[in-house]
Amino acid sequence: MTINEQRLLDTFLTLARFNTPPRAEKPASEWTAAYLRDIGFEVEFDDAGAKVGGTVGNLIAFKPGTVPGAAPIFFSSHFDTVEATPDLEIVVEGDIIRATSDTILGADDKCGVAPILEAMTRLHESGETHGDIQLLLTICEEIGLLGAKMLDPSRIRARYGYVLDSGPPVGALVYTAPSQNSLHVTIEGMPAHAGVAPEKGVSAIVAAAKAIAAMRLGRIDEETTANVGTIQGGTARNIVPAEVKLVCEARSRSQEKLDRQTAHIKETFERECAALGATAHVEVVEEYQTYHLSAEDPVLRIAMAAAHAADLTPTLRPSGGGSDGNIFNGYGVPTTVLSCGMEKIHTHDEFCRLSDMVKDARWVVEIVRVARDFRD
Ligand SMILES: [Zn+2]
């Protein structure tokens, strides 16, 4: 099936030009809703937007299958971009699409959405048969997978899921991604005049420094990482600082190692602060859970067979970060993350390739075809 490259490019550019930071996805998702209704999808929005203080919910679209017994599948991408793009200017230079303005491009994740829309359009035009297809186009992915977390899992009508939201080469599939915990730490010391009576104070900054210096951070092992991301504290040069706040994280593809690293960070703050007479309050937030798919799992077998049919080379790879795929797997729907053309994401050098979006559109078409003929 040939992909309409010009239309795919136009779709991407239209989506990219909507300014859609988290909680402000409405223009892109309403445009997409109209687009999908035109090609035969039932479209609705859930109440995730209201729950997170946003302008619109997750877009949930469904097209009933025409082949009884076919494996029902969903495709997913997110509308929100990591930051706002009010002054976005885009240039297309041959195959490369990039921003000329000092902003991100927003290829993360609109170069996931656009190929899904083009693939659905081609399937609609061709009139070929397919199983049930659902689209879960989420909000607020970049601020903690909030849209996927607020989605009512009973609304998922698919048995297998495909999230288009990882980097090239197109053909790569994520089979495992880490669990992540955030640690919100408040250290309380004792204020005092730094010149008159420093011995009466307990410096929360010194306590934080000693704890951090005693901590295992960075790459812990091949599947575990940890970071102190932010630190804020102190009020004036001449006051022994009474309070410091820190936000830390730990990730691992092993739940046991994650638990161990999380406990290590918490205990180190508590112990080192106590030794100086300060107190550490550590709140652990479980952000998302790991998953492990095997090459024998239908969700991967379908995507790998489809990759071959689309002239791509399927390769299984681990991810160092979480995605909506973690949440969907947590809902009990085996889900893999497909590679897209997005490069240098979350930077102002972000760009993507039209040729990669064309590959993704073909891949999506072939996943629909393989799922149609797939029997457990
Ligand atoms: Zn993304």
Which pair of structure tokens corresponds to residue 191?
């204020």
The pTM score is 0.89
Q: What is the pLDDT of residue 52?
A: 97
Task: List the catalytic residues.
Answer: 80, 141
3-state secondary structure of 206: helix
The count of residues in the chain is 376
CA distance 365 to 115: 10
158 neighbors 332 (Cβ within 8 angstroms): no
CA distance 185 to 167: 33
Ligand 1 centroid vs 166 CA: distance in angstroms? Answer: 7
Ligand 1 centroid vs 139 CA: distance in angstroms? Answer: 11
Beta-carbon count within 10 A of 328 CB: 29
CA distance 322 to 292: 13
Which pair of structure tokens corresponds to residue 308?
């071959």
CA distance 226 to 250: 4
* Ranges in the chain, pLDDT < 70: none
Residue 336 is which amino acid? T
CA distance 198 to 203: 9
102 neighbors 86 (Cβ within 8 angstroms): no
- Of the candidates 175, 108, 149, 174, the one whose C-alpha atom is nearest the C-alpha of residue 286 is 149
354 neighbors 5 (Cβ within 8 angstroms): yes
Ligand 1 centroid vs 341 CA: distance in angstroms? Answer: 11
Ligand 1 centroid vs 320 CA: distance in angstroms? Answer: 13
Q: What is the pLDDT of residue 126?
A: 97
Q: What is the pLDDT of residue 320?
A: 83
Residues in Cβ contact with 318 at an 8 Å cutoff, skipping those fewer than 6 apart: 174, 175, 176, 177, 223, 253
Residues in Cβ contact with 190 at an 8 Å cutoff, skipping those fewer than 6 apart: 200, 201, 202, 240, 242, 277, 278
Q: What is the pLDDT of residue 1?
A: 79
Ligand 1 centroid vs 80 CA: distance in angstroms? Answer: 8
Ligand 1 centroid vs 344 CA: distance in angstroms? Answer: 12
Beta-carbon count within 10 A of 293 CB: 21
Q: How far is CA 349 from the centre of its chain?
A: 19
Give the pLDDT confidence of 168-218 residue by residue, as tens digits: 999 999 999 999 999 999 999 999 999 999 999 999 999 999 999 999 999
